[in-house]
Amino acid sequence: MIKIEQLSKVFKTANQTVQAVDQMNLSINKGEIFGVIGYSGAGKSTFIRLINRLEEPSTGKVIIEDQEITRLNKKDLRLSRQEIGMIFQHFNLLWSRTVRENIAFPLEIAGVSKAERNARVSELIDLVGLTGKENAYPAQLSGGQKQRVGIARALANNPKVLLCDEATSALDPETTDSILALLVDINEKLGLTIILITHEMHVIQKICRNVAVMEDGRIVEQGSVLNVFSHPKQPVTKKFVEQVMGKPEDEETEELFIQHSNSGQVLKLQFIGETTHQAIISQVAKKFDVELNILQGSVKQTQAGAYGSLYLLAIGEPETINQALAFIRETSVEVEVIQHG
C-alpha cells in the first residue's frame, strides 16, 4: 500500500546542515495501523510530513497505491492530498468556526455542494461521537472533543490514508484511551491505513500491529509490536519498552535478585501470545522436585496478543533444576538463568 524508498530530508541554514530524515525505507500494509516511535528530534514528525509533501523530500520516493507522490505536480498533488487525511497534536482547528463548519472546511475547498457537505458532516459527527456539539466553537470543547473534530475533518474527503502526528500527546490518559479506541473503530469500519507518530510506547502497545523505531533520522528497528516488545535489540527500543514494562534491572530489583540467587537460581520466563495462558509454573511444580517462588512479573496486552515476563526463584538440586529448565524450553515459553556477580 505505502512504500518509502531511500527517503531523506536535509534542512540547511546559514550556519549548519541538519539531516532530519536519513535514507528511510519502509513498507506499510493496506488497512493496518502502523506506529512510528522516537524521542524528540528523532525525525518522526518530519517523516510524516514528507508523506503528503507538507515537507519536500531532499531525495527518495513516497509511493501510495502505485502512485509516486514525490513526482506529482502541484495540481495532481492537491488532488492526491484529498486521499491523505492528517490530524495534529494541537488540533489546528479554525477557532472562529463551529464544529460543523470546521469539519465542512475541506469539503468547501474541494468544491462539494452544500447538500452533500451537510450530509457528510452529519455522518462524521455521528462517527466520532460529537452529536449535540455541532454548533459549539473550539473554545467550548475539551481536548478530546477538539481532537475528535480534527479526526472528523481529516476524514471528510474519504481518505485512504490517515496520518496522525502525536495525536494524543496533548491529552490526559483517559482521553488518550478514548481517542485510540476511536482510531481503532475508524480503522475497522473504513479500512483506512493509519500511520501513527508518537513518543509514547503505550500508544503503540494499544493499537498498532507493526512498529518502526526512529533515532537520528533513521529507522533503527522495526517489526511486529509483539516481537519488538519481547526482543528489543537497540538501546533506544529497550528504553521505550521500559515505559510500559518497567525496568527489572533497577537497583532495588537487582538487589532482590542478588539476595535470592544465594539460595537458588533466578529464572526469567518470557511469554508471548498464547503462551501467556500456559500454566507452566504448576506443570513444573508437579513434574519436578523444585520449589518456584515468584519474584516479579508483568503481562501486557497488544493488538496482536499478550506478552510478558516473570522472574522466579528456583530452589532445588542443580540437576533437577536443569531438568525443569529443559522441560520449559520444550514449550514455546522462553527461559534464561539470570547471573549476578
DSSP 3-63: EEEEEEEEEE-SS-EEEEEEEEEEEE-TT-EEEEE--TTSSHHHHHHHHTTSS--SEEEEE
Whether residues 187 and 287 fall in one domain:
no
- Is residue 50 pLDDT above 90, yes or no? yes
- Is residue 120 pLDDT above 80, yes or no? yes
pLDDT one-digit tens code per residue, 172-215: 999 999 999 999 999 999 999 999 999 999 899 889 999 999 99
- Is residue 279 pLDDT above 80, yes or no? no
Contacts 24+ apart (CB under 8 A), 75-84: 77/53, 81/52, 81/53, 82/106, 82/110, 82/157, 82/159, 83/157, 83/158, 83/159, 83/160, 83/161, 84/51, 84/52, 84/159, 84/160, 84/161, 84/162, 84/163
CA distance 300 to 206: 9
Q: Tell me 72's DSSP state.
A: -
- Is residue 51 pLDDT above 50, yes or no? yes
Whether residues 186 and 86 fall in one domain:
yes
Whether residues 119 and 207 fall in one domain:
yes
Given 218, 244, 270, which residue is the final one in a domain? 244
Q: Between the CA of residue 207 and those of 178, 181, 211, 289, 295, what are the distances in Å?
A: 12, 8, 10, 42, 30
Whether residues 183 and 47 fall in one domain:
yes
185 neighbors 194 (Cβ within 8 angstroms)? no
Mean pLDDT estimate for the chain? 88
CA distance 258 to 167: 43
Confidence of residue 341 (pLDDT cuts 50, 70, 90): very low
Tell me what pLDDT residue 285 has. Answer: 83
Give me the mean pLDDT over the 37-65 stretch: 94
* Number of domain units in the chain: 2
CB-based burial label for 69 (10 Å; 0-12, 13-18, 19+): buried
24 neighbors 60 (Cβ within 8 angstroms)? yes
- Local structure of 217: helix, strand or coil: coil
Whether residues 133 and 233 fall in one domain:
yes
3 neighbors 27 (Cβ within 8 angstroms)? yes
Confidence of residue 340 (pLDDT cuts 50, 70, 90): very low
- With CA atoms as reference, report the closest residue to 44 among 287, 167, 215: 215
Task: Determine which of 72-81, 123-132, 268-277, 311-320 has the lowest per-residue pLDDT on average.
Answer: 268-277
Given 221, 244, 267, which residue is the final one in a domain? 244
Give me the mean pLDDT over the 143-155 stretch: 95
Residues 6+ apart with CB under 8 A from 230: 270, 272, 307
CA distance 306 to 277: 9
Given 186, 211, 244, which residue is the final one in a domain? 244
Q: Residue 221 is part of which domain span? A: 2-244
CATH number at residue 311: 3.30.70.260
Whether residues 140 and 271 fall in one domain:
no
Whether residues 102 and 51 fall in one domain:
yes
Whether residues 66 and 89 fall in one domain:
yes
Give me the mean pLDDT over the 48-55 stretch: 94
Tell me what pLDDT residue 256 has. Answer: 60
CA distance 170 to 166: 8
- Is residue 160 pLDDT above 80, yes or no? yes
Whether residues 120 and 17 fall in one domain:
yes
Amino acid at residue number 39: Y
Confidence of residue 223 (pLDDT cuts 50, 70, 90): very high
What are the grid coordinates assigned to 339, written together?
547471573
Give me the mean pLDDT over the 115-124 stretch: 95
Task: Determine which of 31-40, 91-100, 299-308 has the lowest per-residue pLDDT on average.
Answer: 299-308
Whether residues 114 and 164 fall in one domain:
yes
Whether residues 82 and 207 fall in one domain:
yes
